Chain A
Amino acid sequence: MLEAVLVGAVRGGTSILYAALGETISERAGVINLGVEGCMLVGALGAYATAVSTGSLALGLVVAVTGGMALAAVHAFVVLERHANQLAAGLGVWLLGLGLTSLLGQSYVGRGVDGFANVPVPGLHRLPFVGPVLFDHDLLTYASFLAAPVVWWLLFRTRTGLALRAAGERDEVLHAYGRSPKRLRYLAVLSCGGLAGLGGAQLATALAQNWSENMTVGRGFVAVGLVIFAAWDPRRAVAGAYLFSGAVALNLQLQARGAGISPFLLTALPYLLVIGVLALFARRRVHAVPEGLRKVFESGAVS
């Protein structure tokens, strides 16, 4: 059963992982983007609708990433130009994404799509235990394995990443160097939208191969929580995403095996788990917060 749970963890956690990585970039730059859920929905519908209409999954991915970025651009504009409260703006963006995708997606509900099929890595997927867990997934999941270390490397080993983190910690430093925190934050928020769109695309065209209204049902918000869980470190975001989706898979596997536990309790388990871990490691997390984020809660405005 452990193998089945881990397979389900990786399979279901990819979409959350992409969103969490995007949100990490954004929060590291000092912008909280609660609209990540909306960006995921836009990405999901974009990829699905494009694949259904044109048959091209690659084009679907392009549409998903672009759509996610476009919605995130709304958030960036409202927060960075008009100095709106980040939390309120994020929720507005989420609702906008939800409404738009529900409306535009009406004619796509239940239609068939030839989505991303599982591509077993030749040879490796036969390895006992590790094989099915790591080497028998769709292309987007394989890409997500690389995404986390790449995002980490970009944030912590490049100059742009350093500047982006500085924008989130203390932007006066950037002013001293003559760089614009605002431009870096735009970059961060758009990256967040793009990655979230990719996550949504994986959900619709690889995992469920279906579209229905509000398909993400809160996965974007789980990703926001996981960023805190991961102490704003992209590598730990991987652990968080798989922990959550592993708990979801565990719930279903236990039910399928006839374990005598209430299904309602099992459904709550993933969320309880994340809350529990957050509570346990709260003190360490407090020190890991990018300083710039504190401003979000104090005055609500960021320049």
Chain B
Amino acid sequence: MAGRGRIFALLALVAVLATACGGGGQASGASADLSEAKIGFLFVGPRDDFGYNQAAFAGSEAVAAAFPDHEVLTQENVPETQEAERVMEDMIEKGAGIIFATSFGHLGPAVEVAKRHPEVIVLHQGGLEPEPMDNFGTYFGTVYEPVYEAGIAAGAASQTGKLGFVAAFPIAQTLANVNAFHLGARSVNPDVTTTVVFTSSWCDPAIQAEAAQSLLDQDIDVLTQHQDCTKTIVETAEAAGAFSVGYHADASALAPGGWLVGSVWDWGDLYVDIVQTALDGSFVGSPYDGDFRVGLRTGDNPFVLTELGPGVSAETAALIDAAAERFRAGGSPFDGPVADQQGAVRVPEGESPSYQVIEQMDYLAEGVIGEIPG
């Protein structure tokens, strides 16, 4: 009797203490106190992959420099599985109040974490939010704008009229990139073809080398890619005397003869602005509390074109500038009419699709050679 009573008292004491401590309340993202909050970043790969993750990491360093009072937590090599949830929970436990999940496949886990923690603001890079949430938002740059411009350079430079694209997975962003590249090339050479090969890996240098070689075997003389690590393909193209168009990283030093142009991420300003908005308490209802896409028509695209290489003529440079102007004025690389490989019209004449529509692209444009895995 005495023993059981003591346990009861102990339990009651613990319960009282728990309610006292935990009574802080779960505020929504806007009114949570973020003055001491840490800022967490998740990357799917290593910080020095010379590509996607390196750019995101550089963005996180910009945030650390801009907000010295808020510790920045980073975790690399976070797989696109439930493991990402664990990593985010870990960061929240350490005091993170704002979290950036930077890889496409982190979307599911990020949404779950956001639902469980209404007081934490979760940002996802590249996805679309499944439902409106006060403490969750996605952001991305319109990658296909500089890719279209790069396509112009490729189409003008190609001697054989055949371009090659080494892709990883057939996600909407990749398909949009392939189509943008092809349509840009087509605007200078209506007979150009773009052959796309899917490697099923974001970075496997051996497969990349084989894929690039197999494309070069087909008389293709311009190679581009949507991969996380970009060096191998650029070097393989250079060794074969073909032109290269870069992605994610400026690899011009690797291809002094064949580098046409590339596109790189410059996340710093965007990340800093998002964090500032959150810290000011004005996240809810801001453009970042939703699917934020910034492109040339709405502001400064964080995905920018590198300097033009020696193989790009002045006329081509002028065409690229004209395209950029068109986008700033509200146009899109996918201005209609755009037809798919079967000839069906996907974007009617006169229409300019929204970012939402483009990021759900599920077809390859007419003139692209390749299969989307069903």
9-residue interface stretch from A106-114, A141-149, A187-195, A285-293: A106-114
- Pairs of residues from A and B, 3 with the lowest C-beta to C-beta distance, nearest first: A110-B50, A208-B205, A263-B198
Whose C-beta in chain B lies nearest to the C-beta of A7? B213
Are the CB atoms of A256 and B164 closer together than 8 Å?
A: yes
Choose among B77, B209, B369 the residue that contacts A258 (Cβ–Cβ < 8 A): B369
Chain A: interface residue total (CB-CB under 8 A): 37
Residues of A within 8 Å of B249, CB to CB, are 110
Judge if A255 is at the interface, Cβ distance under 8 Å: yes
Q: Which of B96-104, B229-237, B313-321, B325-333 contacts A (4 or more CB under 8 A)?
A: B229-237
Stretch in A27-35, A160-168, A210-218, A275-283 touching the partner: A210-218
A85 contacts the other chain (Cβ, under 8 Å)? no
Give complex CA distance A256, B162 in Å.
11
Which of these, A107, A110, A209, A255, contacts B197 with CB under 8 Å? A255
B48 in contact with A258 (CB, 8 Å): no
Contact status B205-A210, CB under 8 Å: yes
At the interface, yes or no: A102 with Cβ under 8 Å from chain B? yes
Contact across chains for A263 and B206 when beta carbons are under 8 A apart: no
The listed residue (B48, B231, B370, B374) touching A255 by CB distance below 8 A is B370
Which residue on B lies nearest to A265, using beta carbons?
Answer: B373
Q: What residues of chain B lie closer than 8 Å to A215, measured between beta carbons? A: 204-206
A8 touches B214 (CB 8 A): yes
B195 near A258 with CB under 8 A, answer yes
Proximity bits, A249-269, B CB within 8 Å = 1, else 0: 100110111111111110100
Closest to B200 in A: A267
Which residues of A212-260 are within 8 A (CB) of B?
212-213, 215, 217, 248-249, 252-253, 255-260
Q: Of B164, B231, B374, which contacts A262 at CB under 8 A?
A: B374
**Complex Cα–Cα for A263 and B47 (A):** 29
Considering only CB atoms, which chain A residue lies closest to B210 in the complex? A252
Q: Is the CB of A107 within 8 A of B48?
A: yes
Q: Judge whether B32 is part of the interface by a CB distance below 8 angstroms.
A: no
B69 CB to nearest chain A CB (Å): 29
Q: How large is the interface on B (under 10, 10 to 19, 20 to 34, 35 or more residues)?
A: 35 or more
**Docked-complex contact B49 and A256, CB < 8 angstroms:** no
User: How far, in Å, is A95 (CB) from chain B's closest CB?
Assistant: 14
Q: Give the complex CA separation of A209 and B235 in angstroms.
A: 9
CB pair A264 B200 closer than 8 Å: yes
> Roughly how many angstroms separate A296 CA and B341 CA in the complex, as a whole number?
55
Residue B215, interface by CB 8 Å: yes
The CA-CA distance from A109 to B48 in the complex, in Å, is: 6
B254 in the interface (beta carbon within 8 A): yes
Considering the chains assembled together, what is the distance between the CA atoms of A210 and B212 in angstroms? 14
For B371, list chain A residues within 8 Å (CB).
Answer: 255, 258-263
Binding site for A on B (CB under 8 A): 45-51, 77, 164, 170, 195-201, 203-211, 213-215, 217-218, 220, 229, 231-232, 235, 249, 254, 369-371, 373-374
Within 8 A of B (CB), among A52-106: 102, 106
- Taking A203-B206, A215-B206 as contacts, is the C-beta distance between A253 and B217 under 8 angstroms? yes
- What separation, in Å, do the CA atoms of A203 and B370 have in the docked complex? 28
Residue from A15, A213, A217, A256 with most neighbouring chain B CB atoms (10 Å): A256
Our pick among B207, B215, B218, B229 for the contact of A110 (Cβ within 8 Å) is: B229
B197 touches A8 (CB 8 A): no
Assuming A217-B201, A264-B373, is B206 touching A208 (CB within 8 A)? yes
A197 interfacial contact with B, CB 8 Å:
no
- The residues of A that contact B170 with a CB separation of less than 8 Å are 263
Knowing A207-B209, A253-B217, A255-B370 touch, does A110 contact B49 (C-beta < 8 A)?
Answer: yes
A73 to B374, CA, bound (A): 46
Closest chain B residue to A103, Cβ basis: B46
Chain B residue numbers with a CB within 8 Å of A255 are 196-198, 211, 214, 370-371
Given A112-B231, A255-B197, A263-B373: 5 more A-B contacts, CB < 8 Å: A110-B229, A110-B249, A208-B232, A255-B196, A265-B373
* A109 interface neighbour in B49, B198, B217, B218, Cβ under 8 Å: B49
- Whether A256 and B206, one on each chain, are in contact in the complex, defined by CB atoms closer than 8 angstroms, is no
B234 to chain A, nearest CB (A): 10
- A212 & B197 in contact (Cβ 8 Å cutoff): no
Q: Is the CB of B214 within 8 A of A256?
A: yes
Q: How far is the CA of A253 from the CA of B213 in the complex (A)?
A: 9
Residues of A within 8 A of B200 (CB): 263-264, 267
Cβ of A199 to closest chain B Cβ, rounded Å: 12
Q: Does B210 contact A249, Cβ atoms closer than 8 Å?
A: yes
Q: How close is A242's CB to chain B, nearest CB, in angstroms?
A: 14
